[in-house]
Amino acid sequence: MKFIEAFIIFCYIFCTSFASYYKFTKIETCETSGKSGHLEYCNFTATSVFVVLNNTVTVNSINAEISLFQLQNSNYRQLFKAPKVNWCKLTEQRNKNAVLKIIFESLKTYASDFVRSCPLPPGIYRVTGLKIDRKYISILPEGKYRFTLRAFNNRDEAMLKVSLCLEILS
């Protein structure tokens, strides 16, 4: 968690404008395992992502992994992989940590009904119009990237996997 906090603080304080803007180019993967629910909808525009997940069972623990890859010579090379994060523990600490407050405040905008506490009851969960703040991408050079999010339960069963391709332009 310390690395992620440091990275976000670094971006807020020191990032300069290497990239003028970005655009999503495709969704490579948007799927669930089917054991805990199913996707109602998964789509994107040039600057926004929309996901609707129908969770059908109570989930007591949610873990997440985030990775970032850059396209180089027709292959994606991993630039960053965050350690597994227990989302439930983050929700408990969100008011005690300045970085987590920022993350959860931004989730209110794009995912008003998203996971704020655990256990996660059955229901429909939406991410509508998610955009990437320029602060987070401004340290990346112009190029093509893949961002992957994988959410899974405490038995390491995939709940959701989303891989988005985006292009950063200057």
Q: What is the mean pLDDT of residues 77-105?
A: 82
- What are 69's strand-pairing partners? 78, 146
| Contact (CB, 8 A) for 29 and 163 | yes
SS3 157: coil
Residue 42 has which token pair?
A: 């998964």
Q: Can you give the pTM of this predicted structure?
A: 0.74
Question: Span 2-169: which CATH code?
Answer: 2.70.220.10
Which range has highest mean pLDDT (42-51, 96-105, 128-137)?
Answer: 42-51
Q: Where are the domains of the chain?
A: 2-169
35-86 per-position pLDDT tens digit: 667 778 788 887 778 888 888 888 888 888 888 999 999 999 999 888 888 8
